[in-house]
Amino acid sequence: MQDLNAEGSFTRPRETTTTTTGGALLNIPVGLIAKAMAALGLLSKDLDYHLVRASMVLIFLMFGYQKWFNYEAQVLIPYISSGPLIFWLHPVFGIRGASWFLGVSEWLFGALLFAGFWNRKLGILGAVGSVATFVGTVTIIPFIPGGWEPSAGGFPAMVGPVAFLMKDFVLLAASVYLLKQDVARVVAAQG
């Protein structure tokens, strides 16, 4: 019978350090990078959290701005029409109105995320809106016409609209990260 260690029945994989020439050579640049990051303050407790939040605010500001112009409303037609969660926007608001609705939503979520720097509860609302936004966009991927290159056998050879939407998986992950962080901070503050 296998002995159980204090952390459970699974052990951590061992890291190789200087047992091989390649390992020793790898430790030098990695050590220098780690020391430089520490000296620059890049390991401060909340830097990643603030960078992700600021990035998401900027993204919502810029993408929301585009939605006020006709060129963007026209570009969005195949995306909205193919979206299983947002297809209703054109029948309800029209082509320009759907674009404006998305622009207002993006600015609202960006403003709530920005307010989240000071108020975690508002940050939670912004993160929930951000998660909803990117769930809405990634669900378009399987349905958008012309997203998979037929000459390369179709899926997974993405082109055009699918390639553009792939970034939304990372934005969804960033949104979930912010939501988790804000919820944890609110819960911790409550006791």
Q: What is the Cα–Cα distance from 179 to 156, expressed in whole angstroms? A: 30
Q: What pLDDT, on a 0 to 100 scale, did the predictor assign at position 8?
A: 44
**Three-class secondary structure of residue 72 per DSSP:** helix
**Cβ neighbourhood burial of 103 (10 Å; 0-12, 13-18, 19+):** buried
Residue of higher predicted confidence among 27 and 174: 174
Statement: residue 158 has pLDDT above 80: yes
CB 106 within 8 A of CB 85: no
Query: Model pTM?
Result: 0.78
Q: What is the Cα–Cα distance from 110 to 63, expressed in whole angstroms? A: 10
- Domain limits of the chain? 1-43, 45-190
At 4, the pLDDT band (50, 70, 90 cuts) reads: very low
Of the CA atoms within 13 Å of residue 166, those in its CB half-sphere come to 11
Q: What pLDDT, on a 0 to 100 scale, did the predictor assign at position 132?
A: 98
Statement: residue 161 has pLDDT above 60: yes
Q: What pLDDT, on a 0 to 100 scale, did the predictor assign at position 151?
A: 84
Convert the pLDDT of each residue in 72-130 to its tens digit: 999 999 999 999 999 999 999 999 999 999 999 999 999 999 999 999 999 999 999 99
pLDDT-wise least confident of 44-53, 90-99, 128-137? 44-53
Beta bridge partners of 8: 5
Q: What is the Cα–Cα distance from 18 to 44, expressed in whole angstroms? A: 28
How far from the centroid of its chain's Cα atoms is residue 72's Cα? 22
DSSP string, 119-164: -HHHHHHHHHHHHHHHHHHHTTTTT-TT-B-GGGTSTT-B-HHHHH
